[in-house]
Amino acid sequence: MLVIGQAWLLSRSVVGVFETRSTDGLWTAGALLLAVFAARGLLAWLQSVLAHRASAAVKSQLRREVMAARLRRPTGDRASASTLVTVVTSGLDDLDGYFSKYLPQLALALVVPFLVGGAILWADWQSALIVAFTLPLIPVFMALVGWTTAKATARRFAVLDRLANHFADLVEGLPTLQAFGRARAQAKGVAITEDANRRETMRVLYVSFLSAFVLELLATLSVAVVAVTVGFRLVFGHVDFTTALFVLILAPDAFLPVRQVGVHYHDSADGVAAADAAFAIIDAAGDEPDGTLPAPNLATSRVRFEGAGFTHPGADRASLEPLDLTLHPGEMVALSGASGAGKTTALRLLMGFEQPTVGRLVVESDEAGALDRGSLDPASWREQLAFVPQLPGLVPGSVADNVRLAAPEAGIDEVEQVLTEVGADFSAHQTVGDDGEGLSAGQLRRVALARALLRLRRGARLLVLDEPTAGLDADSEATVLEAVRATGAGALIVTHRPAALALADRVVELEAVAR
């Protein structure tokens, strides 16, 4: 609306001076024009602030939901961490472009052409006809160009993607190439691939810039046509000067939002892709609600796998074939079996990280009867468990901070005590960096064992211990297993070690999953 007012004021005052050769009324017109420009500036500023607010709210919401989803399914593979970081940080930032540029322009593109077109129609219907004829041509042509080129572009993108990643792959592999004395020789390969990359990219660009070309051409050409026709009609007195100028000033503005939508189209594509990636993570976590029943006391309850098995969604074979197993209170059961038999998966089902896809896992007590593990409140269930994963994940801070995950209120004396018990040769105050940096694999394992030990001291009734990777000493593990014996708690452990197997009451052999 302001744009129309601005055009009207401008054309009036120019014509005023043109016809009267005097500056009467120029003061008021000038002041009004300045006010209009100032108001447009204010609106632009408001739009920027509001658009940011909207996108920030959506970003925060998605961040929270993505991370909550990650924590609902805590067993995702470790490689996914970097993908997740990309999605949550720079990926979601792409939504800024979507909200602050694409959406406002899209809204404008739906409204402004009609408003401005209406204003032109009111002033001069013939010019409006030209605009009305060319404006719809823009989306039509763009769709046509997009439609005919989509296939060619998609085909090229696969090639392009490979070429573009080739450099990254080579650079990351440089240390490996150097060890084989092949790094310098590959420089020629880089030059050749880069050249191919440029050619392929340009081929895609020839086509993808076409739509922008059509857009620009139609928009400017129709302004030119409006200018020329209005000019000639002006000569013959079919239209007055004010109207002619008014139409000329307005005509480009009818096309501007549509052109801007085209310009910001890739912002929209990036933003939509980012949101899709976020939703994919959220959806993958499922939305079945957590259980609410308080978990029965494991000191007096049995835990039973009743044909419980698990298949990853989309996987063609089961990670764990249906398993029948009862854990009695205070019993120590060792799981063994070939790699890939589903030992770790069994522990995950027990922890409640995953739900069995067949069969069920029940907790059976004399008071409450048999309850499905899925119906239990996760917090009250897990506080009775002491968990030692295969590869412990540590939070940055100190060793003590990590041991205290098991019991936040534990004093430093107690932390040092459990660390000593598992044979730690490092201080509780030692700092832990990203990904447990600063600690060796063996030290990480001991922190995890100390944590489990502290948990057992706080009344956990079941140790859930996964086998460590190769090359770690067995002594500290035995300490924890003895502690389990001393407290009378039970245990489900995955192990190959003869020492640990000897300590167990029972060894359950898992059959390898048939390939």
Which of 1, 28, 30, 140 binds another protein (CB under 8 A)? It is 30
CB of 316 or CB of 367, closer to another protein: 316
Which residues inside 189-218 make contact with another protein, applying CB under 8 A? 190-191, 194-195, 197-198, 201-202, 205-206, 209-210, 212-213, 216-217
Min dist. Cβ of residue 255 to another protein (A): 11
Scan for tokens 């940096």, then name that residue: 437
- Residue placing its CB nearer to another protein in the complex, 39 or 370: 39
Tell me the two tokens of residue 220: 């400017």
If binding is defined by CB under 8 A, does position 434 make contact with another protein? yes
Helix (H, G, I), strand (E, B) or coil at 367: coil
| 410 secondary structure, DSSP code | -
3-state secondary structure of 376: strand
Asked if residue 38 binds another protein (CB under 8 A), the reply is: yes
Phi, psi (degrees; rounded to nearest 5) at 495? -160, 160
238 binds another protein (CB under 8 A): no
Scan residues 467-496 and list those touching another protein (CB under 8 A). Answer: 467, 469-471, 473, 496
The one segment of 151-159, 360-368, 389-397, 409-417 that binds another protein by CB under 8 A: 389-397
Between CA 2 and CA 37 the distance in angstroms is: 8
Q: Which of 224, 280, 412, 499 binds another protein (CB under 8 A)?
A: 224
Tell me the H-state helices in 352-465: 378-382, 399-403, 412-421, 441-457
Interaction of residue 501 with another protein, rule CB under 8 A: no
Q: What is the DSSP letter of 294?
A: P
Positions in 449-468 near another protein (CB under 8 A): 451, 455, 467
- Which residue in the block uniquely carries the two structure tokens 């763009």? 142
Residue of the chain from 4, 8, 13, 124 that contacts another protein (CB under 8 A)? 13
If one asks whether residue 351 binds another protein (CB under 8 A), the answer comes out as: yes
414 is an interface residue for another protein by CB under 8 A: no
73-132 residues in contact with another protein (CB under 8 A) are 74-76, 78-82, 84-85, 88-89, 100
CB of 94 closer than 8 Å to CB of 62? no
Interface pick for another protein out of 331, 372, 383, 414 (rule CB under 8 A): 383
**How far apart (Å, rounded) are the C-alpha atoms in residues 200 and 208?**
12
Site string for another protein, 247-266 (x = CB under 8 A): -xx--x--------------
What DSSP state is assigned to residue 100?
I
Residue 29 or 334: the one with the smaller Cβ distance to another protein is 29
E-strand ranges in 208-337 read 302-310, 320-327, 332-337
Q: Which stretches within 181-240 are classed as H helix?
A: 187-235
- Asked if 515 is part of the footprint of another protein (rule: CB under 8 A), the reply reads no
Asked if 159 and 200 count as a contact pair (C-beta separation under 8 A), the reply is: yes
In this complex, which beta carbon is closest to another protein, that of residue 193 or of residue 417?
193
* Residues linked to residue 325 through DSSP beta bridges, in sequence order: 305
Sheet with 385-388, edge to edge strand ranges = 385-388, 462-465, 490-494, 332-337, 506-510
For another protein (CB under 8 A), the number of binding residues is 146
* Shortest distance, position 369 Cβ to another protein, whole Å: 26
Q: Token pair of 341, please?
A: 């038999």
1 counts as binding another protein under rule CB under 8 A: no
From the CB of 364, what's the least distance to another protein, in Å? 22
